[in-house]
Chain A
Amino acid sequence: MEQFRIQKDNGLEFGLYTLGDHLANPNTGQRISAQQRLNEIIELAKLAEEAGIDFFSVGESHQEYFTTQAHSVVLSAIAQATEKIKISSSSTIISTLDPVRVYEDFATIDLISNGRAEIIAGRASRIGLFDLLGYSLNDYEALYEEKFDLLLKINENEVINWEGEFRPPLKNAKVLPRPLNGSLPIWRAVGGHSASAIKAGAAGVPMQIAMLAGPTQSFKESIDMYREAARNYGHDPAQLPVATAGFFHIAETTQQAQKEVYPHINEGMKLTNGAGFPKRGFAMGADRRNVLNVGSPQEVIEKLLYQHEQFDHQRYIAQMDFGGVPFDQLMRNIEWIGNEVLPAIRKHTKKEIDQ
């Protein structure tokens, strides 16, 4: 775990992530400028740090309605604006990037931030970037596997010899600068699919799994399969951190939280994913056994603790800015997190690990 900068004794880490979506607030129809959105993301990271949140990450989407395509540049600004919060991508689409350049960028961010940078590498759920950056969709899986593998090799070796299909060979190549403490935590981003979880486990890399809604039990299956695959391939699951990621919103009451955030999530998903969030599914999200962390502070805390009990995971990251949620609501959520959520989950999850 230490290799991935996870201190078990600290209990469940709590983070925030943004996909960098750039959508109108459905209640007003107004969309802030791209410049304002970027500044607010950086501001959000600062506020997260002040509230004691452990982690902040920014995703890369080369589609309409997004604004953090150059996510490593945004992370670099966040590195400069903050002092202790961990910073990461969520995700870096390694398939369509050069792993050498990605490593150079993130090692640089690691140095600027005094050893706080991580990479979460994914495969993209939309495919606009394949055309934009000159890759063939036919190579969707092969590109990811080869480039992710190369990224891991660069992390392990300062001097690298490598040959593959999608990039010119590297001969005694030195990939510089090196991160502050020699290596970066590199995670594999996994969608709901257990096949990806198994690949992450077999490779012995930390896994971050996305879970929008549905029974906690179903996601536990993927996490169990990840750990089993790790064991079968000779890795110790106790050394491999697991993170979960999903929608998050808190208000005074669960009804109020649903009311506030539903239009943002529903309209946002329609535009970015092509289908809204069905109301019934969202309503079911209020059940404690459902992974959707939308509710009163007490409800959400209990859900997070239930999820931790089921998953025994090391980090949860919350997406709360999707779909044009106004900044004052984000600030209120950060306050709830700092005052209510963090003390509660730290108290309970630290204790659990000490036993």
Chain B
Amino acid sequence: MKIVGLSGSNIGSKTRTTMKYVSEKLTSQYPHVDWNFIDLSDYTLEFSDGRNYMDYEGDTGYIAKTIMEADAIIIGTPIFQASIPATLKNVFDLLPINALSGKIVSFFVTAGTSKHFLIPETQLKPILSYMKAQTVSTYVFIEEKDFLNKEIINDDVLFRLDALVEDTVMLTDTYQRIRSEKESMYDF
């Protein structure tokens, strides 16, 4: 099972800090998972120009191909100007229309204010639905006050992240089983 962690911003520490926790949780508890963490701040991405994703080169090509090969994606994103960062939207734009079909996608959000709580519902989920992801409906919303010195200090947040990781792995497993059962019914 291939799971990609996608940290959607190229600035700030909260999303990275959280993804580090998710990363440790996932690799220690689910050793059978092939985990690949992509932090967009480590890469230089071109803007999407509509070409087939296989035709991008360098970092852009690497990220597009890695996501296309994943069975599941855990997205971590801050909220910028009441929406997802342009860097993250650009990743979606690089991919084909049905790119997330058959993939489980879960996410957590770090935000400067609780006023942003519904932003993922209106800004991120419609994109995931349009691209045909199987979305884990519950997301983890994390605020400024939950962090201190690049660490999560709110145990409730940690518990919710644990559940998010567990749901992601479990749903990916389940979905793969459903699909292979369904596909074995076809005689080709």
Give me the interface of A with B, judged by CB distance under 8 Å: 125-128, 137-138, 140, 255, 258-259, 262, 273-275, 278-280, 282-283
Contacts and interface: CB of A to CB of B under 8 A. Distances in A.
A303 B187 CA distance: 21
Given A259-B187, A280-B183, 14 more contacts: A125-B52, A127-B55, A137-B49, A255-B188, A262-B188, A273-B52, A274-B52, A274-B96, A275-B96, A278-B102, A279-B182, A279-B186, A279-B188, A283-B188
Contacts of B187: 255, 258-259
A255 B188 CA distance: 7
Nearest to A263: B188
A259 B186 CA distance: 9
B98 A258 contact: no
A212 B158 CA distance: 47
A262 B96 CA distance: 21
Classify the interface of chain B: helix, strand, loop or mixed.
Answer: loop
Given A275-B96, A275-B98, A279-B183, A126 B52 contact: yes
B51 interface: yes
Nearest to A274: B54
Classify the interface of chain A: helix, strand, loop or mixed.
Answer: helix
Contacts of A138: 49
Interface string B139-153: 000000000000000
A126 B54 contact: yes
Contacts of A278: 101-102
B161 interface: no
Contacts of A273: 52, 54
Interface string B89-105: 00000001011011000
Nearest to A125: B52
Contacts of B107: none
Centre residue among B96, B182, B188 by max chain A CB count within 10 A: B188
Nearest to A259: B188
B99 to A, nearest CB: 8
A262 B188 CA distance: 7
Interface in B88-145: 96, 98-99, 101-102
A127 B186 contact: no
A30 B102 CA distance: 29
Contacts of A140: 50
Contacts of A279: 182-183, 186, 188
Contacts of A255: 187-188
Interface in B158-188: 182-183, 186-188
A311 to B, nearest CB: 24
